[in-house]
Structure 1
Amino acid sequence: MNPRAKFPFGVTRCSPHSIGDLLAELKLLLADKSLTPRTILCLNSHIYNMACADDGLRRCLNAARIVAADGMAVVWAARFLGHPISERCNMTEAFHAFLKDDTMPRSQGVLIGCSSAEAEAAAEKANRDSPHCRIVKACSGFLSESEYKEILAAHPESDLIFLGMGSPKTERLAELAAQVCPQAVPWGIGGGTIRIEAGTMTEAPVVWRRLGLQWLHRLGSEPRELWRRYLLGNPRFVLRILSLAWKRRASQ
């Protein structure tokens, strides 16, 4: 799939990649270090809402090779706007599929996100699960930019930089990683992915994920932290998509 085949999605651009497409692209990137851009990010309703007010976040998203539709709301909205996406490209499922894909070339990486203990536990599990990828460094998602520069510079041989720090920090660190380790693939796998790997968060049941109800599972698990994001953010996202559709039809 052409990595530049992203389509306009309001203030950002989105990629139509399925998990299989993303894995195929990863295989190409690992085999050919000259391919650019190399960053893989994702888009959901929360990230889109933030991008509407954050120029830097929009820049990071639009410069990435892939901006996968990680949220079902984005999949539905894209279809509503005339850009059909075959399936949701859930980053947790994509990460698990990558780790277990024995056709991938051998690689090593750095994992950054959540607490130090969670990052280390996630790295240990990933190393047990994967026949081809070894995470050689895992660290907290709460360090300074200068500390991350030092960590990345100490691992110039890294093939992958796995990031899960929340937005817009993930996207900005992906931009930094691309500068410090230009041959690596910065991949925003999400803080939830790291916590699931570490065993500090439960993954939503498959049925809930397929129905687009993963957000409800997370809201039930962390109501105080997430009520504003979902109960206020989801309606705001819907209104923005309806506004896009109205403007598009009015201009035709």
Structure 2
Amino acid sequence: MNDWPTNRLGSLPIVRAGMEDSAVAFIRLALERRGAGGRPFYSTSANGQVIALCEHDANFRSMTRQADQIHADGMSVVIFSKLSSSKPLPERVATTDLVHAVAERAAEAGVSFYFLGASEEVNARAVENMSKAYPGLRFAGRHNGYFDRAEEEAVVQAINAAAPDILWIGFGVPLEQQFVVRNINKLHNVGLIKTSGGLFDFLAGSKRRAPNWMQRMGLEWLYRMILEPRRLTTRYLTTNPVAIYAMLRHSLRAFSASR
């Protein structure tokens, strides 16, 4: 899938792929890499926060661009692509939706998951709920996200011993990107890595998704801000303007270069 076309949004190449195409490709890539050893395929996502961080943090930008694939996990990114490109991104590929599309196919294909991140309670409940929702879905293992750097090597060894086809990592930005960059060449028994943000909280039921009509209108960010005003209001007010500026600047630069 890293050969798929991309749209340049801000400083990142965002893959021009929809939900179904992405889920099918995840299964194919995971099976192709099963038992092959070497570096796993690495998929991450970008929303306004990620694009803003990439704009003023060169180290984070470098880490993010090491991914084989970057999905649009933010409606602002998709909407801007529709306004600025004749070949826009087809849709938002939110990890909270992608995991279900992949799980449905994984249960049929025998592709295994590993959940890494969140608290012990949330992680265990996320695995339990997904196992109930998708009979036949196999979990190679799981581990909470509460470990320090001194324990990291043991966690990596445990993941390799479990040999999952797809490793979902939910530490949040930028901790999950830092973990992947440090360890991707050590995770030789993993087929595919997907950074997942706060995915496990939603799967466990600790946090609620926005109503479907708000998701369709691209207003999930507003719903989340209403639920967590102290944490998210400042984040959205500080990152979204920077992200819009970054996407505009890079778009105008590309337009000028093409003239």
- TM-score, normalised via structure 2 length: 0.87
Distance change (3 Å), C-alpha of 1:96 and 1:198: same
Q: Is the 8 A contact 1:14 1:69 kept in 2?
A: yes
Q: Output one character per residue of 1:11-63: Cα deviation in whole Å (capped at 9) or x when no partner.
A: 22111111111112112112211596601111101011111223332223222
- The corresponding residue for 1:144 is 148
CA deviation vs aligned residue, 1:93-116 (integer Å, no higher than 9, x gap): 110121122675213332122222
Structure 1 segments, 4+ long, off by >6 Å, are none
Is it true that 1:131 corresponds to 2:135 in the alignment?
yes
Q: Which residue of 2 aligns with 1:98?
A: 102
> C-alpha distance in 2, partners of 1:178/1:3?
20
5 Å-filtered alignment, 1:16-95, equals 16-33=16-33, 34=36, 38-82=41-85, 83-95=87-99
How big is the shift at 1:6? 2.9
Q: 1:146 to 1:3 in 2, by over 3 A?
A: farther
Paired with 1:17 and 1:103, the residues of 2 have a C-alpha distance of 22
Aligned partner of residue 58 in structure 1, secondary structure? helix
Residue 155 of structure 1: aligned partner? 159
1:6 is matched with which residue? 6
Alpha-carbon distance in 2 for matches of 1:49, 1:2: 23
Return the offset for 1:159.
1.5
Which has the larger displacement, 71-80 or 198-207?
A: 71-80
Is 1:109–2:116 an aligned residue pair? no
Identity fraction in percent: 23
Aligned with 1:39: secondary structure?
strand
How far apart, CA to CA, are the structure 2 residues paired with 1:116 and 1:80?
Answer: 43
TM-score by length of 1: 0.90
Structure 2 distance, partners of 1:102, 1:140, is 22
In the alignment, residue 158 of structure 1 is paired with which amino acid? P
In the TM superposition, what whole-angstrom CA distance separates every residue of 1:124-165 from its partner, at most 9, and x where no partner exists? 112222234323433332422342331121232122211111
CA distance in 2, matches of 1:2, 1:199: 33
SS at match of 2:41: coil
The reply to whether residue 245 of structure 1 matches residue 251 of structure 2 is yes
- Structure 2 CA distance for aligned equivalents of residues 80 and 128 of structure 1: 41
Q: 1:3 to 1:36 in 2, by over 3 A?
A: farther
Structure 2 CA distance for aligned equivalents of residues 155 and 233 of structure 1:
34
Matches within 5 A, 1:153-192: 153-156=157-160, 157-184=163-190, 185-191=192-198
Mapped to 1, the partners of 2:106 and 2:27 lie a distance apart of 11
Q: Tell me by how many angstroms 1:183 deviates.
A: 4.0
Length, aligned pairs only? 251
Cα 1:102/1:143, change in 2 over 3 Å: closer
Higher relative contact order (CA 8 A, sep 6+): 2
C-alpha separation in 2, matches of 1:122 and 1:54: 32
Match of 2:215 in 1: 209
RMSD: 2.2
